[in-house]
Structures are given as C-alpha cells and as structure tokens.
Amino acid sequence: MGDDSLGIDIFLEMKCFSKLGFCLCNHPSPQVTVNAVCPGFVSSDMTDELPAEMLESVKSMIPLGRLGEPSEVAGMVRFLATDPACNYITGHTFNVDGGIAIGA
C-alpha cells in the first residue's frame, strides 16, 4: 500500500498515551502506581472488517508478523494490576504490539 501515515498515527498515539502516564506518575501516592499499556493491532471485530490487502500491509509492519490477541494485552494488564512484582514499577509504558513501535 505504501502509505506510512498509519505507522505515524500509531507512533503519535503511543507518545501521547505515554506522556499522560508520565504526568499522572508525577503526582505520586505511596499506594498507587501508574503505568500505561499500549496495544498494537489486535484481532477484533474491527480488524476483521479491514480489506485483506490492508491487513497484510499492517502485518508486514509488525516484526512478529501477526496481529496480537486480546488475551495478550489482557495478560499485561493483569500482570501490572495483580502481581506483587509490580509494586515497584511506576511511570512506564508497556507496548504490547508485536514490536511495531520499534519498526520493522
């Protein structure tokens, strides 16, 4: 398809979301951690509606070569919300995107 605007849009959205998490983190509370999860392209009803050519173009931008699954994004959220190992993690953005944020 040759249209790089999709990648730029994703990059800008992740940066904005990351900055929001950073701003919230600058108002700390000893019992509250603030992290952000930025999902990439995930299999859903919305992606099911994409034309095959566009879907293949999107997959070609993802180093893992596939769309994510909702359970993969949910797993990161569950980890951050419930695992005691996360009690000292705050102010971070976690990309669950198959590597698209680093570029293909």
Conformational region of residue 9, where left means phi above 0, alpha means psi within -120 to 50, and beta covers everything else = alpha
Q: Both tokens of residue 95?
A: 């990309």
Domain ranges of the chain: 5-99
Report pLDDT digits (tens) over 11-45. 555 555 555 655 655 666 667 888 889 899 999 99
CATH number of 5-99: 3.40.50.720
HSE-up (13 A, CA, CB side) for residue 92: 11
- The pLDDT score that the predictor gives to residue 1 is 42
On whether the pTM is more than 0.95, the answer is no
Mean pLDDT score, 46-70: 93
